[in-house]
Amino acid sequence: MRRARLGPLLPREFFLTSGRGISPTSPMNAFDNALREAGIADCNLLPVSSIIPSKCRERRWKKLEAGTITPVIMAKAIGKSGETIGAGLAWGWEKEHRLGLVAEVYGHYDRRALQLALDARIKEMADARQIKLMGVRKRLEVMKVPQGMYGCVLAALVFIL
């Protein structure tokens, strides 16, 4: 019997999505509800680091088949009743399009603090590589968790192989 060889996996496309979820039962149910809102709850999510390959192109959201193993860069914040939580991504391309960088920020942030933290994080990543990024964009989710609930916000960059 032959074994299949798995070579390097280079994503061809990616899309951005985000969601919010609440639950009176548990933080994990709030997370599942946020994944459902983002449209990726039925995928097997595989966390990856923050590099977009050079030939990978951005596309609109795509419905993925249930059970698909799905590489994802995700920022996720979970909170309790009355807390403000935020999660966001910033992404941009090196000026010659050799690679893209993605910064994640999550925690107890309001919208303004989240934007400032993302700006600082993506700038530091680019500076460390001595590159200039072009057209940095952001995707944010912020919520005040309702009374008696758990809450989750997430932003995800989803790769398609």
Three-state SS string over 96-149 comes to CCCEEEEEEEEECCCHHHHHHHHHHHHHHHHHHHCCCEEEEEEEEEEEECCCCC
pLDDT reported for residue 4: 64
Q: What's the average pLDDT block by block, 10 residues per block, for the chain (161 residues)?
A: 71 97 98 98 97 96 95 98 98 95 98 98 98 96 98 98 90
Q: Is residue 49 situated within a structural domain?
A: yes
User: Domain range spanning residue 41?
Assistant: 13-160
Full-model pTM: 0.93
Q: How many domains does the chain have?
A: 1
Q: Is residue 4 situated within a structural domain?
A: no
Residue 32 DSSP symbol: H
85: domain CATH number? Answer: 3.50.20.10
